[in-house]
A and B are shown apart, each in its own frame.
Chain A
């Protein structure tokens, strides 16, 4: 049985729904020795800011049951270096490269969007309004529907013909209201979800395990939360949703598509083994054939409830 893994996302052809999540795949190049980057549905690069960022002090990561905490603090090389040294080495003609962007205020977000939208090799902009590990900007935008909507609008105005994705935080009372506001503001798609805020402490040293004290929880532990959020958002908005959170197998991919996601991102599982995303992309069509799923469009959102 031949299957069709292609997916329609705004403004870009996607050969399969398996993408990588920002902050878990470097700039893509780090993982090139472990698989063919062109086999992925998309690569979302490490969050970019206008100027390089140092990030948070060590320790920055801690292992937790079925997951991990991180407080990297958006360390990155800055947009200029990315465009000059990294992007040209990525297979952007074959696989969409999505730039995740972070800034401290709306003006800076818009400026960054302007810079990135001028680049042929950037397929879409993913606006990070949900990072829990930075003091200014980040999650502050993602917890207020009004701010989220205005930010989406500001970025969309400067994004030219590049699709704008808004990455949502689960650390809110009502993720649907944020999702609606982002779409009303002009978001072409939503990425759902970023990490959950969490904490880990050492009873012997009496210290937190992260220098930042609080960090973002990711990994298989958060998959049920992500699945719930994707399902709720897909019920409420018509914009495509890219599901992310604890996905580590082709079965997980289909779970997210079943509840309505158009595509998914592999995050912490890239740390389990660096060829994980490639393996999942390779396995997906086999699994679809085994389950009699001819194409993802007909399977998407077909969850039987009640």
Chain B
């Protein structure tokens, strides 16, 4: 069982570019020594704040758990602003404060054919999902990305799961083709389980297709968070009843029928 709760200062073991082109595209693996975060359910996340943030930026940053072993916690980070830029410049021996695992993870059904739909950095939680799944042959991965494929942990996943397919979006014309691929796949898995993580428009497409084909699907939201523990109410999402639910504690993984996903977050 996951040991959530205390803040822990974890030592950075390594910060490495993801693949030969990872640095150029801002994609990194950050590996932290794990002195007792316990285990996690894939899809759970941790809050990370290096001491060098000082008073600016004020917020820690949430990251889904890419891999958690008794020895190390691995994060897959894409530089997208001040916080991630600082994090990816840290060096081995630096420490960061971490709390977690937090939130609700993905459902894991060993005997159910499961389709993993990932967009960009949204591939991260599926590394843990595939690694902890008792029957990875039942897993099928469709991965949409913009940066070169080598910038993502795709190859290692493809080696583990039953099927894996990547689709690079280079031009605006690629989007309808990708959505067509998603349609085909979601229709195939209407009787199985679909788990998805990625940018909001991608998740909205997954939710729409899941509803259309009557598929059971979960999406992991990447809403902006201040605290990660339910204190700020900044990360909420509207549920099917029109009430706000907290992404940090009641999510980040939700069944699509629980939510009214909108453009804003």
Contacts and interface: CB of A to CB of B under 8 A. Distances in A.
Nearest to B247: A58
A219 B54 CA distance: 12
Nearest to B263: A58
Interface stretch (A59-67, A92-100, A280-288): A59-67
Main secondary structure of the interface of A (DSSP, over half): loop
Contact of A61 (B6, B99, B230, B234): B234
A64 B243 CA distance: 28
Nearest to B226: A271
Given A61-B234, A270-B227, A34 B99 contact: yes
Given A34-B99, A68-B58, A219-B58, A55 B231 contact: no
A11 interface: no
A58 B265 contact: yes
B49 interface: yes
Interface string B1-45: 000111100000000000000000000000000000000000000
A218 B56 CA distance: 13
B224 A59 contact: yes
Given A57-B264, A61-B226, A34 B49 contact: no
Contacts of A219: 55, 58
A108 B249 CA distance: 31
B230 A68 contact: no
Main secondary structure of the interface of B (DSSP, over half): loop
A276 B224 CA distance: 21
B231 A24 contact: yes
A271 B232 contact: yes
A59 B200 CA distance: 13
A268 interface: yes
B236 interface: yes
A33 B5 contact: yes
Given A34-B99, A59-B264, A66 B55 contact: yes
Nearest to A249: B55
Contacts of A275: 6-7
Interface of B: 4-7, 49, 53, 55-60, 97, 99, 223-224, 226-237, 242-244, 249, 262, 264-265
Interface of A: 23-26, 30-31, 33-34, 46, 54-55, 57-63, 65-68, 70, 72, 75, 211, 219-220, 248, 268, 270-275
Report the 6 A-B pairs with minimum CB-CB distance, sorted nearest first.
A61-B234, A33-B5, A30-B230, A220-B55, A271-B226, A271-B227
